[in-house]
Amino acid sequence: MAQKIRRRKCKHCGMLFFPDSRNATRQRYCSKPQCRKASKAASQKQWLSKPDNLDYFRGPHNVARVQLWRKAHPGYWRRKPKNTPLALQDPLNQQVTVNTHDSNDFVTLALQDSLISQPAVLVGLIAQLTGYALQDDIAMAARRMQQLGNDILMKGAHHGRKTAYLSSACPKNP
C-alpha cells in the first residue's frame, strides 16, 4: 500500500506544498518559478562546493571536446540575419465546405463508431437538448440533427421545411 504524501514547507517561500509523488522524499522546494530558481541555485552551489567539481569543465580534454563540437557545428552561436523571411507557407484561404457523400451511410455505422468520433461536449449537448440518456436514443437524435444540417447546407434542398426532424427528438415535458 502506498504511503500518504505529507505536505512540506518550501525552503524558499515557506509555504506548505504537496511534493511530487515520484520525488516526495527529496523535494524541498515548491513549484513556483522563483522557488524553482532558488532550488537550482542551491543545487548548483552544493555541486560546486565539492572539490572534484571545481575544475570539471576545465583542462585540455574539455577544450578539445568543445573545439571539435564547434567545427562540427559552424555558425551555431551566430545570430540569424534580420532579413530572414518568415514562414514558407502560403496564407490559408477560407473555403466553403461541400458535403458530397451520402448521409445515409451514417445510419449503417455502429453506435460506438458514430459517437466515438463526436466530442463528448456535443454528445452531452444532444442529451441535454433532447432529454435522452441512452446511447441509442442520442445516436438517433444525432442522425436526425445531421440530416437537418445537411438539408440546411444544401441551400434549399428542402426549401420551406420546418424543423420537423427534431420534433420527435425533443422531450415531451421540458
Q: What is the pLDDT of residue 31?
A: 92
Q: What is the pLDDT of residue 52?
A: 85
Say what the pTM is.
0.37
Domain ranges of the chain: 12-72, 105-166
Digit-coded pLDDT (tens) for 18-73? 999 888 889 999 999 999 999 999 999 999 999 888 888 888 988 898 899 999 98
Digit-coded pLDDT (tens) for 93-126? 666 666 665 555 555 555 556 556 657 777 788 8
Q: What is the pLDDT of residue 174?
A: 46
SS3 readout for the chain:
CCCCCCCEECCCCCCEECCCHHHCCCCCCCCCHHHHHHHHHHHHHHHHCCHHHCCCCCCHHHHHHHHHHHHHCCCCCCCCCCCCCCCCCCCCCCCCCCCCCCCCHHHHCCHHHHHHCCCHHHHHHHHHHHCCCCHHHHHHHHHHHHHHHHHHHCCCCCCCCCCHHHCCCCCCCC
Digit-coded pLDDT (tens) for 150-162? 888 886 644 555 5
Q: How confident is the model at residue 140 (pLDDT cuts 50, 70, 90)?
A: confident
Using the structure block, give the residue that is written with the C-alpha cell 441551400: 155
